[in-house]
């Protein structure tokens, strides 16, 4: 009887996106065959162009709201626009991507016996009344608000993952991702790190919403991907959800001043009204990740911002020469 090759066949949905492309890099470097699936709504071919000639890498244009028939050993489901600008552009499609996309990857995992990873989000906690957020906190989400397409879509996806685990014994891993930044962020995604850096590099005013005293905790992309890999490698009785993020909390105003300092920009800070349902605090309790995965972030904020600024500087320079 022939043996299946030891090299794993790994599918990454949303693989041409910010997080997905970095994950593809890590999986390829580890010697896996990687199928990158993306509809390029927010993902970009530039993020994976360096992998296209690698014989162990394959890119497929596909919308995960439609079934996909492939043979895989592991699935990382990262398919869904993750910034308010993008997920509010077509909120119905955002919900469909989270819910129908989850049904499709879980059905594939059920058929193939693959282990399947769900990239969930800290947005399942909404505007939290518990701080920092632990995995057993059930959240404070407005199901009727403009962010609900993403928040409730991801909550429903978690429900589906755990029901497939209980009913069909599908091997699941669920991570709740907190604010992440780094090279390959979309320059127009509306998130504070990319917004501030692009505005600073262009010498424009840096826009803060509200009084700037709302807090966030920022995790560098390399640290996050390491958490993905470690969670996927855990035993079958570890399902998650597991918070993955940086517990070092700063105000949005402090982030803006750091970006101005690191870019040596002449930008000034201006204030605008706070958007609906924008959380005032967001910070993970990562005790579970430390215990189960022996994981915690390593990259200091200034170092991560420096690498991200260098990426956006190159990107803007290329755009100006085009």
Q: Where are the alpha helices (DSSP H) in the chain?
A: 18-29, 84-87, 91-112, 148-168, 192-201, 221-232, 252-263, 287-293, 301-321
The secondary structure of residue 276, as a DSSP letter, is T
- Phi/psi at 310 (nearest 5 deg)? -60, -40
Tokens found for residue 59? 């890119």
The secondary structure of residue 267, as a DSSP letter, is -
Contact 245, 284 (CB under 8 A): yes
- List of residues 6+ apart from 52 with CB closer than 8 A: 59
Q: What is the 3-state secondary structure (H, E, C) of 43-105?
A: CCHHHCHHHCCCCCEEEEECCCCCCCCCCCCEEEECCCCCCHHHHCCCHHHHHHHHHHHHHHH
DSSP per residue, 161-189:
HHHHHHHH---EEEEEE--EE-TT--TTS
Active site residues: 150
Tokens found for residue 10? 């790994």
Query: Which of 241, 248, 249 is CA-nearest to residue 293?
Result: 241
Contact 283, 214 (CB under 8 A): no
The secondary structure of residue 204, as a DSSP letter, is P
């Amino acid at each position: 009887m022939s043996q299946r090759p030891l090299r794993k066949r790994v599918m990454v949905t949303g693989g041409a996106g910010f997080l997905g492309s970095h994950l593809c890099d890590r999986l390829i470097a580890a010697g896996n065959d990687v199928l990158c699936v993306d509809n390029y709504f927010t993902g970009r071919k530039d993020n994976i162009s360096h992998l296209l000639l690698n014989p162990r890498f394959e890119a497929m244009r596909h919308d995960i709201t439609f079934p996909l028939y492939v043979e895989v050993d592991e699935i990382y489901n990262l398919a869904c626009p993750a910034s308010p600008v993008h997920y509010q552009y077509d909120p119905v499609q955002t919900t469909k991507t989270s819910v129908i996309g989850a049904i499709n990857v879980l059905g594939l995992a059920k058929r193939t016996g693959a282990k399947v990873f769900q990239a969930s989000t800290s947005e399942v906690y909404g505007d939290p009344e518990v701080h920092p957020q632990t995995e057993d906190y059930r959240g404070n989400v407005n199901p009727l608000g403009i962010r609900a397409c993403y928040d409730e879509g991801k909550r429903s996806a978690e429900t589906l993952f755990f029901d497939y685990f209980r009913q069909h014994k599908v091997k699941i891993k669920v991570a709740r991702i907190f604010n992440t930044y780094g090279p390959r962020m979309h320059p127009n995604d509306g998130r504070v790190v990319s917004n501030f850096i692009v505005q600073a590099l262009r010498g424009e005013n840096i826009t803060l919403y509200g009084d700037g005293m709302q807090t966030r905790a920022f995790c560098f992309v390399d640290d996050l991907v390491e958490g993905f890999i470690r969670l996927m490698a855990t035993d079958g009785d570890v399902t998650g959800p597991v918070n993955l993020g940086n517990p070092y909390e700063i105000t949005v105003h402090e982030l803006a001043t750091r970006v101005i300092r690191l870019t040596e920009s002449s930008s000034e800070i201006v204030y605008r009204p706070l958007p609906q349902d924008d959380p005032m605090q967001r910070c993970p309790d990562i005790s579970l990740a430390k215990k189960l995965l022996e994981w915690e972030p390593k990259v200091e904020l200034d170092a991560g911002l420096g690498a991200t600024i260098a990426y956006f500087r190159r990107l803007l320079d290329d755009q100006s020469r085009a």
